[in-house]
């Protein structure tokens, strides 16, 4: 079992990732969920997390408010993809549970300091502002982190919010630089992987065919958010991002990559947030990121389907 802290900003596909984690109580011991601002504003992401927690029946897991904006730059959201709430496509009931009063940064520091050295995996599925602030305020917490598994970056696929940058890094490139330079073991699941995972109509229909409420919700949410990407890419299905994080933790044998050096551009407006990924090992810089490049697509969707089938 992995002891985990989740940092996320649902977002339809982030909601599906969260559902996959919450479907796995024997595999993930979730200390808490921290909301970030990214796919939409912080008020919406907090509410969306609480709704997913209640949808899955995993109430009681504490939810915290992370940082409402990036370290340096104005907040950029993806309402053009996810809708005004960030989770348009299915109307879930208003949550009964409320977020904790303790700020997310303070919660991360407290929970990590209470854990054994190298005990906690951070499931990082949005921009890295809140984690970076926690590391800046309390550098000692790095020693309590087993690994940060993140959906972030791109090399072969380059960018999805600008021609050169992936969204989660672009929202706060300065925070991403802090995390990449932290010395913590890092696994990065980039667009190079997520663009291989396409939500074709046949795959989405399999979720609604499960016959449970959560399967119906997955189909509806991903059907809404795919509209923008289908027009953008002209593919037979929109890429699937967030669920790569829990699926990598549960089924690492489905993924392949290599240890490389990766840095983030923070100085040029032309390439702001671009990941300089040394895939071809051109430099002798320290290899700080386990960079995942490929995934077994059909097996991935089979595994995700099995997780969602566990839910109500």
- 78-87, 187-196, 272-281: the lowest-pLDDT one: 78-87
Query: What is the distance between the alpha carbons of residues 93 and 157, in angstroms, rounded to a whole number?
Result: 37
Predicted confidence at residue 227, as pLDDT, reads: 77
Task: Phi first, then psi: give them for residue 144, nearest 5 degrees.
Answer: -95, 0
Query: Cα–Cα distance between 207 and 267 in angstroms, integer?
Result: 43
Helix (H, G, I), strand (E, B) or coil at 219: helix
Task: Catalytic residue, from 44, 144, 195, 241: name it.
Answer: 241
**Residue 203 falls in which region: left (phi positive, over 0), alpha (psi -120 to 50) or beta:** alpha
User: What are 59's two structure tokens?
Assistant: 């109430």
Cβ pair 148, 184 in contact under 8 A: yes
pLDDT, tens digit, for every residue of 37-66? 999 999 999 999 999 999 999 999 999 999
> Which CATH number is 2-309 given?
3.90.245.10
pLDDT at 33: 98
* 44 noted as active-site residue: no
pLDDT band at 232; cut points 50, 70, 90:
confident
Q: From CA 78, how far away is CA 306, in angstroms rounded?
A: 29
Helix H or strand E segment including 256? strand 255-260
Average pLDDT over residues 150-173: 97
Q: How does pLDDT run across 175-200, given as a tens digit for each residue?
A: 999 999 999 999 999 999 999 999 99
Length of the chain counted residue by residue: 312
Domain limits, the chain: 2-309
**Structure token digits, residue 231:** 């027009």
Count helices and strands (H / E) in the chain.
12, 12
pLDDT band at residue 71 using 50, 70 and 90 as cut-offs: very high
pLDDT higher than threshold 90 for residue 231: no
pLDDT of residue 81: 83
Q: What distance lies between CA 255 and its chain's CA centroid?
A: 17
């Amino acid at each position: 079992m992995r002891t985990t802290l989740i940092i996320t900003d649902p977002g339809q596909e982030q909601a599906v990732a969260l559902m996959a984690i919450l479907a796995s109580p024997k595999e993930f011991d979730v200390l808490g969920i921290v909301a970030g601002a990214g796919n939409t504003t912080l008020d919406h992401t907090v509410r969306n997390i609480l709704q997913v927690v209640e949808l899955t029946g995993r109430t009681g897991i504490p939810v915290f408010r992370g940082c409402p904006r990036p370290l340096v730059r104005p907040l950029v959201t993806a309402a053009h993809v996810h809708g005004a709430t960030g989770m348009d496509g299915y109307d879930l009931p208003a949550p009964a549970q409320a977020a904790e009063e303790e700020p997310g940064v303070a919660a991360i520091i407290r929970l990590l300091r209470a854990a054994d050295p190298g005990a906690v995996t951070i499931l990082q599925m949005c921009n890295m502002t809140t984690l970076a602030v926690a590391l800046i305020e309390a550098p000692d917490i790095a020693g309590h982190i087993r690994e940060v598994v993140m959906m972030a970056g791109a090399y072969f696929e380059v960018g999805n919010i600008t021609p050169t940058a992936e969204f989660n890094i672009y929202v706060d490139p300065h925070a991403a630089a802090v995390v990449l330079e932290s010395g913590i073991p890092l696994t990065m699941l980039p667009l190079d992987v997520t663009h291989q995972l396409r939500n074709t109509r046949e795959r989405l229909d399999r979720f609604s065919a499960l016959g449970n409420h959560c399967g119906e919700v997955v189909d509806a949410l991903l059907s809404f958010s795919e509209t923008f990407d289908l027009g953008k890419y002209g593919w037979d299905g929109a890429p699937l991002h967030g669920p790569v994080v829990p699926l990598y933790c549960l089924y690492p044998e489905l993924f392949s990559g290599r240890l490389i050096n990766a840095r983030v551009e923070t100085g040029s407006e032309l390439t702001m947030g671009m990941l300089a990924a040394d895939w071809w090992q051109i430099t002798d810089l320290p290899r700080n990121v386990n960079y995942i490049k490929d995934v077994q697509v059909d097996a991935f969707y089979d595994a995700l389907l099995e997780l969602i089938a566990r839910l109500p």
